[in-house]
Amino acid sequence: MSGFHIVVLVKPVPDPGCYDRVEIDPATGALARQGMPSVLNPSDRHALEEALSLQERHGGRVTLVSMTPESSAETLREALAMGGDEAVILSDRAFAGSDSLATSRVLAAGIAKVAPFDLVLAGNESADGGTVHVPSQVGELLGVAHLANVVRLEVDADGSVRARTRIENGYVEMEGALPMVLGVRREINTPRYTSLMGVMASQGKPIRVLGAEEIGIDGSRVGMDGSNMRPGKLSRPEYCRKGERVKGDPEEAAARIVGILRAEGVLG
Amino acid sequence: MTGEGKAPVRRGAIWIVAEQAGGTLAPVSLEILGQALRMARAAGGCEVAAVLIGKDAGGLASVLAWLGADKVFLVDDPRLLPFQNDTHGAVLTRLIVREDPGVVLFGASACGEELAPTVAARLDTGLGAHCTNLDLSADGLLMMGVLGFGGRVHTEMFCPARRPQMASVKPGMFQPPPRADRKGIVVREDAAALLEGETIRLRAVKVVRKEPEGVPLEGADVVVAGGFGIGGKEPWALLDDLARELSGAVGCTRPALDEGWTSGDHAMIGTSGKTVRPKVYLGFGISGSPHHTVGIKDAGVIVSVNSDPRAPMFESSDYCVVSDFRKIVPALIREIRKVKGDSLREPSPA
Amino acid sequence: MAELKFTQQQEMLRKAVREFVEKEVKPVAARLDTESRFPMDIFLKMGKLGFAGVFVPQQYGGAGLGMTERAIILEELGRHAAGLAMALMTHHLGVDAILSYGTEEQKKKYLPDLAAGKKISGLAVTEPTGGSDVAGQLSTAVREDGRWVINGRKCFITNSSNAEVNVITARTGEDAKGRPAFSAFIVENSVEGFSPGREEDKVGLRGSSTGDLLMNGCNVGDASLLGGEGNGMKMALSLFTKIGRTGMAAIGLGILRACLEDGVKFAKDRVLYGKPLSKLQAIQFEIAQIRIDYEAARLLTYNAVGLKEGGAGADAEIAAAKYFATEGAVRAAKRTMDLMGGYGVINEYPVGRYMRDALTTISCGGTSHIMQIIVAGQTLN
């Protein structure tokens, strides 16, 4: 088969535009996420776009893999409308409460199920968790080279890889070879819009749902039981300050602010 | 949450993984060392060690020892610079297995964001990401505070059973150690032995660093920040002018960054950006979403200017000015110039 | 009797279109209006996504969807940039003229570029003699040496300055009863003697060009004759109903929704007498009226489109939808403008543009008076 098999890890997350609706249930102390619509994790669109660009260049297949409740299938279909050949949802009650390493175990097992693969792409971080762990940990579990913070990617037909990773105030040019797992940052590309043709094509693309047994993963290694991290108390951080109103016209307000700057010792 | 779990909790050493960056120690390395020393003291005393993996890093290792680390594990080898997650991952994993620390802290820098999860996977242990606060109990259980949902939810995380308990720490959250002339010991490790047998699949070919223009946000006494209310690249110039008058740094919120009004994401202040603690913070056209206010929570004095009297930013500010920044900033610049002019004319003390 | 419900594919389609419009069109909508500029770059992007050829079969490069999907696109575009929606709407008139009445050669020659948005089309019927009086056209196409020579002047033609592929009607003779007979021709703007004339400075729908077309001895071959000689009037009237009025109804619906959403947002945000405006009963009545008009317009529009797609004539239903959605948009714009008080008349807010766009839709695709005549005609027969 010419071209590569690229797996894109995607995750439906609560719409960041609706974060103001997140509540902590006073009775249970747990998170109440009612009524927050799901969207594809913004970073994942960039991972998918990168996969589709590589597919246009080299040919091959793109498979979306997601650990998410089956009810999120609609969001996966929206992703397929942007591109990709099929989606695999890893869903099982046993997965609930997984920390990032347990999640990575599930994803690695799911990827093994759609193997062989050449490249796994993921958005660098998820909007709700933001851990950046998944690319590194999935790479470790699959036993392949991995990088995170990728902002530019070149893959040759022979599988050699040149990736630019972002560091503080600069970047590093890395070299490697497929198979690899890469976490990409948003600045790597501009995701394409979904076309009408894509919407139509997505209707016929397969979305498979696999549970713990089907991917051959032990229940004790996933979910709450398989997680080394445990959540404790939730709270809403408050950053309240004295909120004193500065009255007057712009000149008076400016004079007041200058007074504050002098009092704090940052102005003559 | 107490120390319930599959294994008995005991208090081991606290390690910090220091980072060699551009010929010096990354600032976050000093911050986590400071916090490690504070936690060790508060928990009744325990060993604090630093791990420094790099090349020609002997001098930097001594600095860590001088700043308070009881012990510094130095792994020095040409193959260990630039950072790669496979070389550093192999070395650190083997050191941890050998020495069995209770806690390992990383700076959540670009390198830390790769190294920490790599090692956590190899050791099958827990890792708290981008922690904004840390606390160590007397019996050695680490509380890792993490923010989610754009800064709106704070969760305390624990790793009750597995060891070490690992955490990556957001830069800017903690203070470096105060100057202390403590002489810890530097232990030079056998790098070749620690790298033995590891398949290295990556190759770092080139490192490019470019300091951004302007005063850096970190360490600035004055920060001038703008948000979506600024409305465009042209009006943004007013903020640059103001910052220049005050020798301050310019910061922005995520929406302003996304609009492309600023020089780059090094200027973004917020949960997914920088944390700043200036003496004075002046915010203009910022609505005050938790994403941003988390980044300034430890600022000295917060002054906010917004034309919307109901902007949530005012609740997180010390001083609130309901006005158009286009009127306030020029007036401010005039006032500042007047003060600076006056101070130049004042006769110096005899 | 089932409720009016879109399919899952149509909902996904709407979401994808809305995302494009909010990211690419909404940020420039105000400028398109003040500059009265047709954005060719955005039209090309819409072409790539399939909007320009939404109902063109895939074999000719289109998306192969239907009129409901087209209405969804025009509604979503109309919500933020009714002028641009008008340009797309008019483009579809020319596209369907060729798709429905063209020979295989004509379809193969023109549809791929039109479906991709690389070339723009339009339908030119109206003349200074009156748009409502289509039989009064004076343009002629005379047979000369085995070819056609077209002379005349069209006015109030949308896409006048941008269309490369124009479908034009002209008088070619008389029918059996001695009444004028008209034929349709495909005239490319490269034809000698053809030129767009003066562009009008419109009150609304300003993201599309509207102006004259001048045919000064345009010499075209038989391959340009569209739909057979003498069928021009029938074709034009059919296209006005199937494509023109349904499109205007969808655009009117989009403007209505804009007024509703902006009105609701303002009512919730604006604080007066210590509480949001939305707590005042007078404001609640206004919002209710806008909402009711929106719901009715929505049902009329999509039902009419569905009826037509199902093969019914639906002349009255389509006329009713066009009438109600566009007049409803005018009412809604006035209501939203009024409840916004001083803010409603400041151009920093888009509601003034919604009002001007709504007013302009009244005379496009047949005036409200003509719509009522159509409805009455069918009702009283």
At A19-42, the pLDDT tens digits run: 878 888 878 777 776 678 888 999
Q: List the single range of A104-108, A202-206, B287-291 with lowest mean pLDDT.
A: B287-291
Task: Yes or no: say if B99 and A150 are a contact pair by the CB < 8 Å rule.
Answer: no
Helices marked H in C50-103: 67-80, 82-101
A99 touches chain B (CB under 8 A): yes
Domain encompassing residue B333: 222-344
CB contact under 8 A, A169 and B332: no
A221 touches chain B (CB under 8 A): no
Q: Each residue of C129-145: pLDDT tens digit?
A: 877 777 888 999 999 99
Q: What is the pLDDT of residues A102-125, one digit of tens each?
A: 999 999 999 999 989 999 999 987
SS3 B348: coil
* CATH code assigned at B23: 3.40.50.620
Which residue is listed with tokens 């949960």?
B271
DSSP assignment of A242-265 equals --EE--S-HHHHHHHHHHHHHHTT
Domain count, chain A: 1
3-state secondary structure (DSSP) of residue A7: strand
Of the ranges A19-28, A127-136, A215-224, which is most confident? A215-224
Residues 30-69 of C with CB under 8 A from A: 45, 48-51, 54, 63-65, 69
Report which DSSP code applies to C223: G
**Selected residue of B4, B84, B114 to mutate for chain A interface (largest A Cβ count, 10 A):** B114
Residue A132: CATH number of its domain: 3.40.50.620
Does residue B82 have a cis peptide bond before it, meaning omega lies within 30 degrees of 0?
Answer: yes
Is residue B308 assigned to a domain?
yes
A73 and C CB contact within 8 Å: no
Domain boundaries, chain C: 8-120, 122-233, 240-380
Mean pLDDT of all residues in C173-184: 91
Instruction: Convert the pLDDT of each residue in C43-78 to its tens digit.
Output: 999 999 999 999 999 999 999 999 999 999 999 999
Residues 268-327 of B with CB under 8 A from A: 271-272, 279-280, 282, 290, 293-294, 297, 300-303, 305, 314-323, 327
Same domain, B35 and B128: yes
Minimum distance, in Å, between the CA of residue A250 and any CA atom of chain B: 5
Closest to B316 (Cβ–Cβ): which among A14, A240, A250?
Answer: A240
Spatial distance between the Cα atoms of A228 and B125, rounded to a whole number of angstroms: 6
Whether B86 and chain A come into contact, CB under 8 Å, resolves to yes
Q: Tens digits of per-residue pLDDT, A168-182?
A: 989 999 999 999 999
Sign of CA dihedral B145, B147, B152, B158: negative
Q: Which of residues 150-209 of A touch C (CB under 8 A)?
A: 193-200, 202-203
Architecture of domain C8-120: Orthogonal Bundle (1.10)
**Mean pLDDT (chain C, rounded):** 95
Q: In this predicted structure, which of A94-103, A171-180, A234-243, B134-143 has the lowest mean pLDDT?
A: A234-243
Which one of A136, A171, A227, A264 makes the best mutation probe of the B interface by having the most chain B beta carbons within 10 Å? A136
Q: Per-residue pLDDT averaged across A221-240, rounded?
A: 91
Residue B6's pLDDT band (boundaries 50, 70, 90)? very low
Task: State how far the Cα of A155 lies from the Cα of C370, in Å rounded to an integer.
Answer: 62
Asked if B128 and B23 sit in the same domain, the reply is yes
Span B161-177, pLDDT tens digits: 999 999 999 999 999 99
List the single residue in C15, C24, C50 with the smallest CB-CB distance to A195. Answer: C50
Q: Taking Cα atoms as reference points, which of C370, C260, C258, C381 lies closest to residue C320?
A: C370
Q: What is the tens place of the pLDDT at every residue in C254-287?
A: 999 999 999 999 999 888 888 999 999 999 999 9
Contact status of B75 with chain A (Cβ, < 8 Å): no
State the average pLDDT over residues C304-311: 95
Q: Is B346's pLDDT higher than 90? A: no
- Give me the number of domains chain B comprises: 2
pLDDT number for residue A24: 83
**CB contact (8 A) between residue C12 and residue A197:** no
Q: Which two tokens stand for residue A201?
A: 């094509």
Q: State the DSSP H helix or E strand holding residue B303, giving kind and residue range, or none if neither.
A: strand B301-306
Band the pLDDT of B3: cuts 50, 70, 90: very low
Task: Say which of A74, A81, A203 has its CB closest to residue C16.
Answer: A81
**A119 lies in which domain range?**
4-221
Q: B186 and B115 in one domain?
A: yes
In a domain, A133, yes or no: yes
Q: Indicate the CATH number of C240-380 among 1.20.140.10, 1.10.10.10, 3.40.190.10, 3.20.20.110.
A: 1.20.140.10
Chain A: nearest CA to C62, how far in angstroms? 9
A83 within a domain of the structure (yes/no): yes
- Multiple choice CATH, C122-233, 1.10.260.40, 3.40.50.300, 3.40.50.720, 2.40.110.10: 2.40.110.10
pLDDT exceeds 70 at position B244:
yes
Q: Does residue A140 carry a pLDDT above 90?
A: yes
Let me know if the fold of C122-233 is the same as that of C240-380: no
CATH number for the domain that contains residue B262? 3.40.50.1220
Q: How do A38-40 and A12-14 pair as beta strands? A: antiparallel
Same domain flag for B155 and B46 = yes
Instruction: Using CB atoms, pick whichever of B152, B272, B317 lies closest to residue A236.
Output: B152
Kindly state whether residues B125 and B232 are assigned to the same domain: no
Chain B: closest CA distance from residue A94 (Å): 19
What ipTM was reported for this prediction? 0.93
Taking CB atoms within 8 Å and a gap of at least 24, the contacts of C289-293 are C289/C331, C289/C335, C290/C256, C290/C259, C290/C260, C290/C263, C290/C331, C290/C332, C290/C335, C290/C336, C291/C260, C293/C256, C293/C324, C293/C328, C293/C331, C293/C332
Q: Are residues B47 and B136 in the same domain?
A: yes
pLDDT surpassing 70 at residue B2: no
Residue with tokens 């290295």: B200
Closest in A74, A194, A203 to C16, CB measured? A194
B222 touches A: beta carbon within 8 Å:
yes
Round to whole Å and give the CA distance between C324 and C326: 6
Q: Nearest residue on chain B to A227, judged by CA atoms?
A: B126
Tell whether A81 is within 8 A of chain C (Cβ): yes
In a mutational test of the C interface, the residue from A45, A75, A199 whose CB has the highest number of chain C CBs within 10 Å is A199
Subunits adjacent to chain A (3 or more Cβ pairs under 8 Å) = B, C
- Regarding whether B184 and B43 lie in a shared domain, the answer is yes
Interface test mutation site (partner A, options C12, C20, C49, max chain A beta carbons within 10 A): C12
Task: Fill in the DSSP letter of residue C185.
Answer: E
Could you list the beta-strand ranges (E) of B149-253. Answer: 153-158, 165-169, 185-188, 203-209, 222-226, 249-252
| For residues A73-97, average pLDDT | 96
User: Do the domain assignments include residue A268?
Assistant: no
Do B229 and B184 share a structural domain?
A: no
Indicate whether B110 belongs to any domain.
Answer: yes
CB atoms within 10 A of CB A240: 8
Q: Which residues 36-65 of chain B have a CB within 8 Å of chain A? A: none
- Does the pLDDT value for residue C12 go beyond 80? yes
Q: What is the pLDDT of residues C149-160, one digit of tens each?
A: 999 999 999 999
* A236 in any annotated domain: no
Question: Is residue A149 in a domain?
Answer: yes
Average pLDDT score over residue span C188-195: 95
One domain for residues B159 and B249: no
Predicted confidence band of residue A268 (pLDDT cuts 50, 70, 90): low
